[in-house]
Structure 1
Amino acid sequence: MKNRQYALTAAALTGLAPAVWGSTYLVTTELLPPDRPLLATTMRALPGGLVLLALGRKLPVGRWWWRALVLGVLNIGAFNFLLFVAAYRLPGGIAAVIMSAQPVFVVVLAALFLGERARAVHAAACAMGAGGVGLLVFRGTASLDAVGVLTAVGGAVCMASGITLTKRWGRPEGVGLLTFTGWQLTAGGVVLLPFWLSMEDLPDALATSHVIGFAYLITLGAVLSYMVWFRGIERLPAVAVSFLALGSPVVAALLGYLFKDETLTTLQIVGMVVIFLAVLLGQPRPPKPRSKKSPSAPPPPC
């Protein structure tokens, strides 16, 4: 019972990270300079990563140089870049539907590299999660752009691979969560930096709302949320963590309804309920109690 409560508490805390990420769309559209998504994603990762490096005062050693780079690229740099490309090339929420397949990749990768058994309940949860996201965000029919589809799939694979490798490698001994998060944010931001510099320009001026928006992305949207996320990967099975990411589009839809006068239909509400049930199904199950057997009779005296 205690183990079950511990797992649910860890899942609830870890789920705060995707909830914060779900608010990124609203913050980006309402507070940041328009039409500069790469500026937003770079600013979200690099400044916070550098601050954490300065606070931690510890750089990677040995093989952790390339491991930190790989994790930073998968969890932050490449993932955000691919998500940005997919969102621009796939209208109607199709990118979100494709991205919702990432638990499927985690189920496969966790079975291959972490020894986590793939169960029938995971397959059901994957189907429910994708179906729920489809009900929540999909709008009618839309043409499928090949590049958009490939980048959306690539984003899902990046996220799944990042979760799996973070779980497999863990943290080096003596390195705190703050420093570990700083390594990855910095690596991801450094990877994003040349794309931003070559594809976008700086805004003419920064308004107060821009400063507030960037401060939100750096603190809650990156530093705190990724620390919570990596902590959850340490304490929960990789498959369980992957399903928690499905909460992001739910929060985005709710915030759009509350602050942008967007509609919330019955099908969308059904989709939210289905996503919630999928997340619950994806969490670790308590072990079945063993049946108590009557003690065997003592052997007869010799």
Structure 2
Amino acid sequence: MPSSPAPRGAVLALLATIGLWAYSWVVMKQVLAYAGPFDFAALRYLLGAAVLFAAMLLARQSPPLVPTILIGLCQTAAFQGLEQWALVSGGAGHVALLAYTMPFWAVLLAWLILHERPAERHWLGLALAGIGLVCIIEPWRGLGNATSTALAIAGGMAWAGGTVLSKRLFRRHAVSALNLTAWQMLAGGVALGLVALAVPQRSIAWSGAFVAGLAYSVLMASSLAWWLWSIVLRRLPTTVASVGSLGVPIAGVLLAWAILDEVPRPMEWLGIAFVLLGLCAVSGVRLRRR
């Protein structure tokens, strides 16, 4: 059937995005030893946009200006700027988990704006994933640095807004995923650049480690991963795509454990199990039906 390749390709794109973004949280934490959060975020997305524009030199199509700028401000400027700022005083695993409250905000916004009412299995998956996130975050132990926590959650909300706006744009206009990714990344990168110029930060300490981290962030975590995420949003329902993204903080926690020595607690392991059950309820059932 004609519709079969699209969901399969979108699932593969989602799995690749999970891997690329999971490791990026470790990189984002490490590069703060060499640069301020806004300088790095601005460099990452301005260079990422340049890479994508180079990839689409032969394409003359450009997406609608105002919606694209709004998407860029939400899911590139606000999301990345707030999360990079949160990492200044918060651990990579903890900030990643708080950022990925995004699916819960996205499902509500998609219901209100796109009229995508979640099915029963989606509510079940969200409930299981919500229990998992509560177990992982353990709010009864305190949420760590209050500023870092607030920034991380606000970033997740901004990303949710960008996700829903992207989905709406794909519905209303014939825009390719590559075009939208490049233009929204440019809009968000310019906004981050203005913030970086306005906010005093430490000077960038150019070194091999910083250049390597920047290269990974630009080429893999920004250019490639955000393009794949646009494909996911275009081809999968908002609920499935958003909840599926919860694989990123799980992998991020494990990588932070292996690389940054941020050892998961027993409740975090329990939370990971609940999140995986939620992913099965939302994504697994959907894929079997397709």
- TM above 0.5, one fold? yes
DSSP 3-state at the match of 2:286: coil
In the alignment, is residue 218 of structure 1 matched against residue 240 of structure 2? no
Taking only aligned residues, the RMSD between alpha carbons, in angstroms, comes to 3.4
Distance (Å, rounded) in 2 between the aligned partners of 1:130 and 1:163: 19
Distance (Å, rounded) in 1 between the aligned partners of 2:231 and 2:281: 21
Identify which range, 261-270 or 104-113, moves more after superposition: 261-270
Q: Which residue of 1 aligns with 2:108?
A: 108
In the alignment, is residue 285 of structure 1 matched against residue 286 of structure 2? yes
Q: Which residue of 1 aligns with 2:182?
A: 182
Distance (Å, rounded) in 1 between the aligned partners of 2:109 and 2:141: 32
Distance (Å, rounded) in 2 between the aligned partners of 1:6 and 1:178: 16
Distance (Å, rounded) in 1 between the aligned partners of 2:100 and 2:31: 27
TM-superposed deviation, 1:256: 2.0
Q: Decide whether aligned partners of structure 1 residues 276 and 199 sit closer, same or farther in structure 2, where only a CA change above 3 A counts.
A: same
1:87-141 per-residue CA deviation (whole Å, 9 max, x = no partner) reads 5577897755554433222222222332322233323322322322333354862
Distance (Å, rounded) in 2 between the aligned partners of 1:5 and 1:134: 36
TM-score by length of 1: 0.79
1:76-95 per-residue CA deviation (whole Å, 9 max, x = no partner) reads 11112233445557789775
Distance (Å, rounded) in 2 between the aligned partners of 1:87 and 1:262: 14
Amino acid at match of 1:232: V
The structure with more helix, counted as a fraction of residues: 2
Distance (Å, rounded) in 2 between the aligned partners of 1:229 and 1:205: 31
DSSP 3-state at the match of 1:262: coil
Q: Which residue of 2 aligns with 1:256?
A: 256
Q: Which residue of 2 aligns with 1:208?
A: 208
Distance (Å, rounded) in 2 between the aligned partners of 1:29 and 1:272: 22
DSSP 3-state at the match of 2:229: helix
Equivalent residues in 2 for 1:37-52, closer than 5 Å: 37-52=37-52
Q: Which residue of 2 aligns with 1:295?
A: none
Distance (Å, rounded) in 2 between the aligned partners of 1:119 and 1:228: 25
Amino acid at match of 1:275: V
Q: Which residue of 2 aligns with 1:229?
A: 229
TM-score by length of 2: 0.82
Distance (Å, rounded) in 2 between the aligned partners of 1:59 and 1:150: 40
Distance (Å, rounded) in 1 between the aligned partners of 2:257 and 2:153: 28
Q: Contact 2:35–2:203 at 8 Å: present in 1 too?
A: no
Identify which range, 148-157 or 38-47, moves more after superposition: 148-157
Q: Contact 2:49–2:186 at 8 Å: present in 1 too?
A: yes
Gaps of at least 5 residues in structure 2 are none
Distance (Å, rounded) in 1 between the aligned partners of 2:205 and 2:157: 37
1:150-180 per-residue CA deviation (whole Å, 9 max, x = no partner) reads 544432322222111111111843x543232
TM-superposed deviation, 1:149: 5.9
State, as a whole percentage, how many aligned pairs show the same letter: 25
In the alignment, is residue 195 of structure 1 matched against residue 212 of structure 2? no
DSSP 3-state at the match of 2:141: coil
